Amino acid sequence: MAAHRAEVDDFSSAPTSVAPAVATAPAPTPPPLDKEHALLDEVWALIDRYYLTLRDAPAWADQRRKAASTPLGGSRTATYAAARRMLKTLGDPYTRLLTPDGMAALSKLSEFNASAAADTGAAFQRLAAAGADAYVLDLRGNPGGVFEGALDLAGLLDGDGTPAATVVDKSGASETFTGHVVGYEAPATPAAQEQTQPGVRRGGGLTGRALSASAAPTGSVAASAAVPPGRGVVVPLSAPLVVLLDDHSASSSEVLAGALRDNCRAVLAGGRSYGKGVIQGVFGLSDGSGLVVTVASYVTPRGDIIQERGLPPQLPLSAGLRERAGAALRGQPPPLEEKIDWTRVREQLSMCAAGEEDVVGDGRGGGWATPHGGAGDVRAGGFNVIDAAGGA
For 68-86, the pLDDT digits (tens) are: 999 999 999 999 999 999 9
The pLDDT tens digits of the residues spanning 295-336 come to 999 999 999 999 999 999 999 887 654 445 445 545 566 566
Cα 277 to Cα 147: distance, rounded to the nearest angstrom: 11
Give the torsion sign (CA, 269, 273, 277, 283).
negative
State the catalytic residues.
Answer: 251, 262, 276
Q: Where are the alpha helices (DSSP H) in 51-146?
A: 57-69, 76-88, 100-113, 116-129
SS3 46: helix
Contacts for 34 with CB less than 8 Å, ≥ 6 apart: 72, 74
- CB atoms under 10 Å from CB of 69, counted, come to 7
In 3-state terms the chain splits into helix, strand, coil percentages (rounded to 5) of: 35, 15, 50
The pLDDT tens digits of the residues spanning 182-203 come to 554 433 333 333 333 334 444 4
148 pLDDT above the threshold of 70: yes
SS3 111: helix
What is the residue-averaged pLDDT of the chain?
73
Most confident residue range from 38-42, 113-117, 184-188, 240-244: 38-42
95 pLDDT above the threshold of 90: yes
Confidence of residue 106 (pLDDT cuts 50, 70, 90): low
Confidence of residue 347 (pLDDT cuts 50, 70, 90): very high
